Amino acid sequence: MPMLVVLSIVAVVASLLEWMTRNRPTHWYAVGEAVAVAMLLVATRTTSELSAYLAVAPIAAGVRHGVVTTLNVTLVSGLTAAASIAVDPEDDALSRMGEALPWLAIGLGVGLLASWQSRSTRDEAARQAPYAAAHQLMARIHHLASAGNVGLNSTSLAMDLDTAMRQATGGARSTIFVAEPDNTLRPLNGGEDVDRMAREIEIPASDRTPGAAVIPLRGVQQVLGYCVVVGVPRWTPELEESARNVADEFAVRLDTAVLFDEVRMLATSEERNRIAREMHDGVAQEIVGLGYIVDEIESISDHEQTRVLASSLRAEITRLVSEIRFSIFDLRQEVSDGRLASSLADYAREVGDATGLRVHLSLAESGPPLPSRTATEVLRVAQEAIGNVRKHSRADNMWVVLDSDGKRLNLEVRDDGIGNAEPREHHWGLQTMRERARTVGADLDITTRPDGGTVVSLRSPTTAPHEGETAHGHHRATG
């Protein structure tokens, strides 16, 4: 009876450990149970009464883990039983081994059968494991975003880290870099000397600029990025420790924010495509159908006034269908090749061809591609500005200027229209453009063009205005 209680305790402990690791199966628990059971039964000479329990561990391993673990558990049980008998040999050693072997054989056979029967379940669990992990991560991110007390915008979070680092160290400013999957470093709050700041990371500490330090943003298993601080009057061990504490506090949040940016961008792109499909297959087709009905009314009516009204209605339907098609085009336009200039040129040229607007392009994009989210947000601002020119300005010409070196950018959309292309304060267009500008750390200005018309400017904070400069890059006119 005491041995039965001990075996029950071993079974309960093994079951609890298996349950606690059900999402990440661990084979060692099954092996440990096999060793404990074989040692207890053989050492206490209770194999004649309880030797059937030797089959439990291989069977459980077959159900839970598969063929390999079943074989390993059976082998370990047999070796443990043999070792226990060898340590304490008696006249009945062969008898005790003979009592254990049949049950080990039964356990092996049933375990292999159970392994084959449960293989599909384990394969399905293995296939679902990455999705379960992703779901768990997204649930946590959603909780953080919904709580509202932890920011998940990488740009604003980098600005917060810059402020906290300057307060902790007395530095003039700092630049935050995050490590990309290809081992390159991407600045989140770059300036004119971002290249020099990046070089501070690569050179030895003894060769760095006086008053500069590089603070790693440490993750659980790797360095997530670096915070380069400059302008500190005198670095002390206490200041360095304070800077590391600030970096450690922001590191996980910043890593989560960068991941959330990528997930949000992918989700937004998919949702835009879904809306575009529904607009094209749904409301656009129905409005086209209404146009056919209006055409039929105009053709069969004998009343002049009815025909005039039908003609006016047909013209309005045509205009509405055109607007819907432009909206679908806006939704589907993406920065597909990593370069903003080509996507912007395609969009502006399409608008010019469809409206008769003469479009002048001056696009200069050098250096590494802009971060995908930044490029996408800039494209959306350009779409809104170009859309306002198309719908409201009554312009003959539109100038689109882009100047980017991969870190700083300048975007301008100008027209020679009547000067009312600026979105009205109570409409969503202006607010949306400003929100997009803020998310990439840029400034948005909407002013009147001296020769008539409107100028929409989007600039990174360190880029000086250069109204009228279009000599660099490539110049092209369509119309």
Instruction: Tell me the per-residue pLDDT of 342-372, one tens digit each, with 9 for 90 and over.
Output: 888 888 888 888 888 899 999 988 877 777 7
**For residues 55 and 98, is the Cβ–Cβ distance under 8 A?**
no
The 8-class DSSP code of residue 423 comes to P
- CA-wise closest residue to 58 among 102, 98, 122: 102
Q: Are 7 and 15 in contact (CB under 8 A)?
A: no
Handedness of CA 319, 325, 329, 332 (dihedral sign): positive
> Is residue 288 packed enough to be buried (19+ CB in 10 Å), middle (13-18) or exposed (0-12)?
middle
Provide the pLDDT confidence category of residue 400 given band limits of 50, 70 and 90.
very high
- From the candidate CATH numbers 3.40.50.1820, 3.90.550.10, 3.30.70.920, 3.30.565.10, the one assigned to the domain spanning 337-479: 3.30.565.10
Q: What is the mean pLDDT of residues 102-113?
A: 79
Report, as an integer, the average pLDDT of 191-212: 84
State the DSSP H helix or E strand holding residue 268, giving kind and residue range, or none if neither. helix 237-278
For residue 398, what pLDDT band results from cuts at 50, 70 and 90? very high
- Compute the radius of gyration of the chain from its Cα atoms: 35
Most confident of 67-71, 391-395, 423-427: 391-395
pLDDT score, position 138: 61
- Give the pLDDT of residue 182: 67
What is the assigned CATH class of domain 154-257? alpha beta
Q: Which of 28-37, 47-56, 67-76, 420-429 has the lowest mean pLDDT?
A: 420-429
Report pLDDT for 360: 93
Amino acid at 374: T
Q: Is the four-CA dihedral 151, 155, 159, 164 of positive or negative sign?
A: positive
Return the SS3 of 364.
strand
**71 near 84, Cβ under 8 Å?**
no
Residues constituting the chain: 479
Tokens for 161, please give them: 């880290």
Residue 399's pLDDT is 93
Using pLDDT thresholds of 50, 70 and 90, give the confidence band for residue 457.
Answer: very high
As a whole number of angstroms, the distance between CA 315 and CA 177 comes to 54
Q: Tell me how far the alpha carbon of residue 157 is from its chain's centroid.
A: 16
User: Which residue would you say has higher pLDDT here, 443 or 137?
Assistant: 443
List the structure tokens of 177.
């870099």
Q: What is the DSSP code string of 42-97?
A: HHTT-HHHHGGGGGHHHHHHHHHT-HHHHHHHHHHHHHHHHHHHHHS--TTHHHHH
DSSP character for 389?
I
Q: Which helix (H) or strand (E) holds 3?
A: helix 2-20
The C-alpha atoms of residue 121 and residue 66 are separated, in whole angstroms, by 11
CA distance 158 to 166: 12
- What percent of the chain shows pLDDT beyond 90? 6
Contact criterion met (CB below 8 Å) for 410 and 459: yes
C-alpha atoms less than 13 angstroms from C-alpha of 384 in its C-beta half-sphere: 25
Give me the phi and psi of 327, to 5 degrees please: -65, -40
pLDDT band at 129 (very low <50, low <70, confident <90, very high): low
pLDDT of 469 above 80: no
How far apart are alpha carbons 320 and 335 in whole angstroms?
A: 27
Burial bucket for residue 159 (CB in 10 Å: 0-12, 13-18, 19+): middle
| Residue 413 reports pLDDT greater than 90 | yes
Q: Which residue has the tokens 């989140």?
A: 188
Task: Please determine, for residue 447, whether its predicted confidence score (pLDDT) is greater than 70.
Answer: yes
Q: Return d(Cα 344, Cα 363) in angstroms, integer.
A: 9
E strands, 416-462, are 443-448, 454-459
What is the distance between the alpha carbons of residues 112 and 132, in angstroms, rounded to a whole number?
Answer: 28
pLDDT score, position 152: 59
